[in-house]
């Protein structure tokens, strides 16, 4: 594990109002990019690593800590510090801060990468759909590859180096802007709800929106309040259309035709489609607003 630590002011001043979710700082250490904003004893230059397997990003350096997000195979994680078997840093794609097990990381590879999509992908031990299946990569995973023939590519990095991937499951590294991101999101219907999850094995409300938009080539931050704040076109609820975002404090979903809402939610413990009116009725029994605010991507 390579790290780069730089001495800073010896006496830390009060830290500014920076969001810890997307600004990597502690009382003893901060990302060097924040040197002009916080005074701490040390700064560190982020060192990019790639993720070897699907792994939760944790709130602290313990496997029993709560998950704050999830990293998929091949995604990059910038390391600032390590301890207790975990690295502390941030996801390169969305700058989200957390802890990842050290054994899930390897030095970042150089060279082009592709993204898995528009669905999960099987990896084969030979360039044939009849060959033995070696593994499955989830939608949104990244991988290095090289040409093999007109149907298959060979993976060039990670735990499945040398396996074969059908080109139908390979997107550009930044996603494919020709894809309909709402259609991508619809493919998650039936997936279990999982706090911090970002795959069909388990996904949360903001993970559904983030991953679907990333696969379709749109940058998207991690949490529901960030996603809503990044949209600036407010829409009256009665004028909403397919693909608009419905947001309540702490929850977010995608509006579909006919007043239906697609969302991953803990009420059903699943990603499902249901009438928006039913969701509003449930929200009316809580302490927050019943009707959502709506914005258009």
Where are the domains positioned within the chain?
4-107, 113-172, 181-295
Number of alpha carbons in the 13 Å side-chain half-sphere of residue 277: 3
**Any idea what the Cα angle at residue 49 is, between residues 5 and 62, rounded to 5°?**
75
DSSP letter, residue 139:
T
Report the pLDDT averaged over residues 231-237: 95
Please enumerate in sequence order all residues whose Cβ is within 8 A of that of 76, keeping only pairs 6 or more positions apart, or say none.
48, 49, 50, 51, 91, 92, 93, 108, 142
User: According to the model, what pLDDT value does residue 33 have?
Assistant: 95
The CA distance from 256 to 240, in Å, is 9
Report the pLDDT averaged over residues 43-54: 96
The CA distance from 217 to 69, in Å, is 20
The CA distance from 256 to 244, in Å, is 8
What is 181-295's CATH topology? endopeptidase fold (from Nostoc punctiforme) (3.90.1720)
Choose between 213 and 14: higher pLDDT.
213
Q: How many CB atoms lie within 10 A of CB 173?
A: 13
Task: Please report which helix (H) or strand (E) contains residue 151, including its range.
Answer: none
Q: What 3-state DSSP class applies to 35?
A: coil
Question: For the domain 113-172, what is the CATH code?
Answer: 2.30.30.40
Which token pair is 27? 């009382």
The pLDDT of residue 267 is above 60: yes
Q: Do domains 4-107 and 113-172 have the same CATH topology?
A: yes
Tokens 């409300």 appear where? 205
The pLDDT of residue 210 is above 50: yes
Burial label for 260, CB within 10 Å (0-12, 13-18, 19+), is middle
pLDDT category of residue 285 using cuts at 50, 70 and 90: confident
User: According to the model, what pLDDT value does residue 28 have?
Assistant: 94
The pLDDT of residue 76 is above 50: yes
Listed residue (28, 51, 43, 70) closest to 109, CA to CA: 51
**For the segment 245-257, what is each residue's pLDDT rounded down to a tens digit?**
999 999 999 999 9
Length of the chain: 297
The sign of the torsion formed by the CA atoms of 41, 45, 46, 47 equals negative
Burial label for 217, CB within 10 Å (0-12, 13-18, 19+), is middle
What is 4-107's CATH topology? SH3 type barrels. (2.30.30)
Please enumerate in sequence order all residues whose Cβ is within 8 A of that of 239, keeping only pairs 6 or more positions apart, or say none.
none
When mean pLDDT is compared across 43-47, 157-161, 216-220, the lowest value belongs to 157-161
The CA distance from 50 to 53, in Å, is 9
Q: What 3-state DSSP class applies to 248?
A: strand
Please enumerate in sequence order all residues whose Cβ is within 8 A of that of 237, keeping only pairs 6 or more positions apart, or say none.
291, 292, 294
Could you tell me where the beta strands, DSSP code E, fall in 24-85? 29-31, 42-45, 47-51, 55-58, 67-71, 76-83
The pLDDT > 90 percentage for the chain reads 88
Which token pair is 159? 């735990």
The pLDDT of residue 234 is above 60: yes
Which whole-number Å values give the CA distances from 147 to 21, 154, 170, 220, 284, in the listed order? 39, 6, 12, 30, 55
Report the pLDDT averaged over residues 182-196: 98
**For the segment 84-104, what is each residue's pLDDT rounded down to a tens digit?**
999 999 999 999 999 999 999
Please enumerate in sequence order all residues whose Cβ is within 8 A of that of 61, keeping only pairs 6 or more positions apart, or say none.
83, 84, 85, 86, 88, 99
pLDDT category of residue 156 using cuts at 50, 70 and 90: very high
The pLDDT of residue 130 is above 70: yes
User: According to the model, what pLDDT value does residue 287 have?
Assistant: 78
When mean pLDDT is compared across 12-16, 114-118, 165-169, the lowest value belongs to 12-16
């Amino acid at each position: 594990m390579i790290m780069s630590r730089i001495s800073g002011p010896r006496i830390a001043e009060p830290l500014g109002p920076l969001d810890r979710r997307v600004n990597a700082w502690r009382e003893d250490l901060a990302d060097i990019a924040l040197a002009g904003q916080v005074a701490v004893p040390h700064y560190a230059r982020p060192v990019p690593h790639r993720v070897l397997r699907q792994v939760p990003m944790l709130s602290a350096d313990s496997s029993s800590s709560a998950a704050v997000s999830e990293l998929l195979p091949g995604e990059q994680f910038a390391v600032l510090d390590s301890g207790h078997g975990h690295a502390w840093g941030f996801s390169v794609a969305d700058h989200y801060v957390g802890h990842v097990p050290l054994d899930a990381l390897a030095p970042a590879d150089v060279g082009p990468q592709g993204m898995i999509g528009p669905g999960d992908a099987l990896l084969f031990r030979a360039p044939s759909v009849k060959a033995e299946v070696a593994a499955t990569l989830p939608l949104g995973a990244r991988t290095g590859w090289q040409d093999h023939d007109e149907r298959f590519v060979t993976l060039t990095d990670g735990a499945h180096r040398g396996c074969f991937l059908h080109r139908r499951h390979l997107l550009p590294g930044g996603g494919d802007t020709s894809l309909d991101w709402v259609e991508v999101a619809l493919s998650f219907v039936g997936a279990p709800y999982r706090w911090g999850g970002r795959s069909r094995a388990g996904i949360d409300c903001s993970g559904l929106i983030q991953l679907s938009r990333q696969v379709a080539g749109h940058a998207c931050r991690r949490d529901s309040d960030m996603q809503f704040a990044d949209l600036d076109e407010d829409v009256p609820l009665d004028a909403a259309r397919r693909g608009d975002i419905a947001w309540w404090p702490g929850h977010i979903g995608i509006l579909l035709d006919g007043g239906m809402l697609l969302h991953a939610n803990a009420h059903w413990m699943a990603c499902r489609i249901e009438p928006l009116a039913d969701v509003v009725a449930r929200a009316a029994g809580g302490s927050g607003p019943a009707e959502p605010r709506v914005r258009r991507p």
